[in-house]
Amino acid sequence: MKKTQINDLLVQNILRYGNIGIHVIDKDRKTIIYNEAMAELEGLEIFQVLEKDILEIFPSLNEDTSTLIKVINSGQPILNSTQTYFNFRGHSITTISSTIPLYSGEVIVGAMEIAQDVTNLRKLSDQLLELQQELKVNKRDSKRSTQIKRYTFSSIIGNNKTLVLAKEIGERASETPSSVLIHGETGTGKEMFAQSIHNHGVRRNNTFIAQNCAAIPDSLLEGILFGTEKGGFTGAIEREGIFEQANGGTLLLDEINSMSLSLQAKLLRVLQEGYIRRIGGLKDIPIDVRIIATTNEDPRAGVDNGAIRRDLYYRLSVINIHIPPLRERLDDLQLLIEYFIKKYNKLLNKSIEKISDQVRNDFSNYDWPGNIRELENFIEGAMNMVSSKDKVLNRENFITSNFIPKTSNAENNMIGQLTKNSLPELLQDIEEKLILEMMGRYNNNITIAARHMGIKRQTLQHKLKKIDETQ
Ligand SMILES: Nc1ncnc2c1ncn2[C@@H]1O[C@H](COP(=O)(O)OP(=O)(O)OP(=O)(O)O)[C@@H](O)[C@H]1O
Ligand SMILES: [Mg+2]
């Protein structure tokens, strides 16, 4: 089969079976492609839409409100917009959609809208906000803590010099309202630090809310952060965001480096001006929230590679805390092992005293990509395997935890690959992976991705074409 035939089949199958809605119109506004997923979303049948003028099918739209027509007229894409609307079957639907002009050379020949159904996500995020609201009300009523775990600095185990320094900075930070930026790999204790800072300071009796910025699409995150005002256009209901909910308290923004640059700009404005405005709202609401942000990559590298806005970085990193990964503080290994053995002896009713020499050796030669969390999970897993009389944790007890002692580090892996591939092949492979990752990060916007890679748009286009041909 020819490559073009394969491509055709591929496109047909994606259109038919993919769960992303696709609607393509030509420049005369006639629908030329309308797939099952889009029909399902909009509550229509494909035949009702195909070949028809878009304003005929959607009489409530006009030249200014139809995104497809707007894009044809302006030639500019509209990316990642969230909409909540009632579809033709009367269901309330929330979508994230992008509308892109289709060019043939310099001439616009049509426009394509791709839409993803995020109704369930929207419901979940609404539920989350409601639960947080309830917790806050409960707290007000009963003075109970809103948190399940309340960490303090004394819960953070370790005598390693860098860790002790980080704890000292954290303790001092808890006495001020300044923003804190915590940098550490996964499982190093960023959340423990953030909670400790909150619980040690004057805000301890107010709300602490943690929000992960990577798990939720950007357009929903904005509503979660700032709240929404009743709006016909967005279909939103009136609700306060977590900035308002955490007023007087602390807001932990986890994985800030995953937040889109445009939302980062909005966050910066809020931090500088000290008030928020709900989406669709007109009122400025003053807020007093202590921000603790975390990132799992070096924040300066994040700034350099375009994941973190430089101005926001300066604003957040008034106080910087770096938590070292476990492999850089193996001097704490013994202390941590003892601590977790004690913890799980109590929880699981066991009487373990130590780990075997062999396991100790394995542990000190391991990289610990999941850091303290990983260590804790290994020990908990192994302690589930022993009897209540056992005194020592042996290698056999760790079989369920996927524990593979370090055999090679990343460098060795690369050198290992060189025995299979030539240097140009390996470099080509790395380049492809980086390009595809950057394209994903910048929503396939070639101009912006190229700018962040420091290469010309045409160069990137050329490279993408080559990647496409080899795949
Ligand atoms: N220094 C420590 N002493 C005791 N326990 C620790 C320590 N650091 C981490 N832990 C344990 O590891 C778990 C993970 O820590 P935490 O959730 O704070 O990590 P994190 O850096 O926020 O990770 P992620 O980036 O994956 O969110 C904690 O729940 C705690 O049980
Ligand atoms: Mg965390």
Give distance in angstroms: CA of 325 to centre of ligand 2. 14
Radius of gyration of the chain (CA): 27
Give distance in angstroms: CA of 336 to centre of ligand 1. 12
Residue of 147, 153, 191 with the most ligand 1 atoms within 8 Å of its CB, for mutation: 191
Most confident of 236-250, 317-331, 425-439: 317-331
Cα 177 to Cα 261: distance, rounded to the nearest angstrom: 25
For residues 248 and 205, the answer to whether their CB atoms sit within 8 Å is no
Give distance in angstroms: CA of 295 to centre of ligand 1. 14
Q: Closest ligand 1 atom to the C-alpha of 186?
A: 25
- CA-nearest residue for atom 26, ligand 1, is 186
> Is 216's pLDDT higher than 60?
yes
* pLDDT at residue 217 in the model: 83
Give distance in angstroms: CA of 157 to centre of ligand 2. 17
> Is 147's pLDDT higher than 90?
no
3-state secondary structure 43-73: CCCHHHHCCCEHHHHCCCCCCCCCHHHHHHH
> Is 272's pLDDT higher than 70?
yes
> Is 148's pLDDT higher than 60?
no
Single-letter amino acid, residue 298: D
> Is 134's pLDDT higher than 70?
no
Ligand closest to the CA atom of residue 195: 1
**Mean pLDDT computed over every residue of the chain:** 87
The band of 156, judged by pLDDT with boundaries at 50, 70 and 90, is very high
- CA-nearest residue for atom 18, ligand 1, is 189
> Is 141's pLDDT higher than 50?
no
Give distance in angstroms: CA of 403 to centre of ligand 2. 22
Cα 104 to Cα 91: distance, rounded to the nearest angstrom: 37
pLDDT in tens, 278-333: 988 889 999 999 999 999 999 999 999 999 999 999 999 999 999 999 999 999 99
- CA-nearest residue for atom 17, ligand 1, is 191
Q: Closest ligand 1 atom to the C-alpha of 255?
A: 25
Q: Give the helix/strand (H/E) hosting 292.
A: strand 290-295
- CA-nearest residue for atom 13, ligand 1, is 373
Kindly state the average pLDDT of the residues 432-448.
84
DSSP 406-438: ----HHHHHHHHHHHS-HHHHHHHHHHHHHHHH
Q: Closest ligand 1 atom to the C-alpha of 195?
A: 18
Tokens of residue 427, six digits: 């470099």
- Which range is least confidently modeled, 79-83, 134-138, 275-279? 134-138
Cα 139 to Cα 135: distance, rounded to the nearest angstrom: 6
* pLDDT at residue 400 in the model: 62
* pLDDT at residue 416 in the model: 63
Give distance in angstroms: CA of 370 to centre of ligand 1. 10
Ligand 1 lining (C-beta closer than 6 Å): 156-158, 184, 186-192, 296, 372-373, 376
Single-letter amino acid, residue 368: W
3-state helix, strand, coil in the chain (%, to 5): 50, 15, 35
CA of residue 18 relative to chain centroid, distance:
23
pLDDT in tens, 370-420: 999 999 999 999 999 899 999 999 988 887 666 655 443 444 556 666 666
Kindly state the average pLDDT of the residues 417-438.
80
Give distance in angstroms: CA of 187 to centre of ligand 1. 5
- Which range is least confidently modeled, 64-68, 72-76, 206-210, 260-264? 64-68
Q: Closest ligand 1 atom to the C-alpha of 254?
A: 27
For residues 308 and 183, the answer to whether their CB atoms sit within 8 Å is no
- CA-nearest residue for atom 29, ligand 1, is 373
> Is 247's pLDDT higher than 80?
yes
Q: Closest ligand 1 atom to the C-alpha of 191?
A: 18
Kindly state the average pLDDT of the residues 62-87.
86
- Mapped onto helix, strand or coil, the DSSP state of residue 183 is strand
Residue of 322, 373, 374, 380 with the most ligand 1 atoms within 8 Å of its CB, for mutation: 373
Note every long-range contact of 124-128, with CB atoms under 8 Å and residues 24 or more positions apart, other chains counting. 125/216, 125/220, 125/223, 125/224, 126/239, 128/224
Single-letter amino acid, residue 256: I
- CA-nearest residue for atom 8, ligand 1, is 189
* pLDDT at residue 409 in the model: 47
* pLDDT at residue 403 in the model: 63
- Which range is least confidently modeled, 74-78, 87-91, 110-114? 87-91
Ligand closest to the CA atom of residue 159: 1
> Is 232's pLDDT higher than 80?
no
- CA-nearest residue for atom 23, ligand 1, is 187
In eight-state DSSP terms, residue 332 is G
Q: Which residues pair with 419 in a beta bridge?
A: none
Domains and CATH numbers, the chain: 3-117 (3.30.450.20), 120-324 (3.40.50.300), 329-401 (1.10.8.60), 422-470 (1.10.10.60)
pLDDT in tens, 157-207: 999 999 999 999 999 999 999 999 999 999 999 999 999 999 998 898 899
- CA-nearest residue for atom 27, ligand 1, is 186
Helices (H), 50-155: 54-57, 67-74, 119-142
Give distance in angstroms: CA of 191 to centre of ligand 2. 5
3-state secondary structure 244-282: HHCCCCEEEEECHHHCCHHHHHHHHHHHHHCEECCECCC
- CA-nearest residue for atom 16, ligand 1, is 189
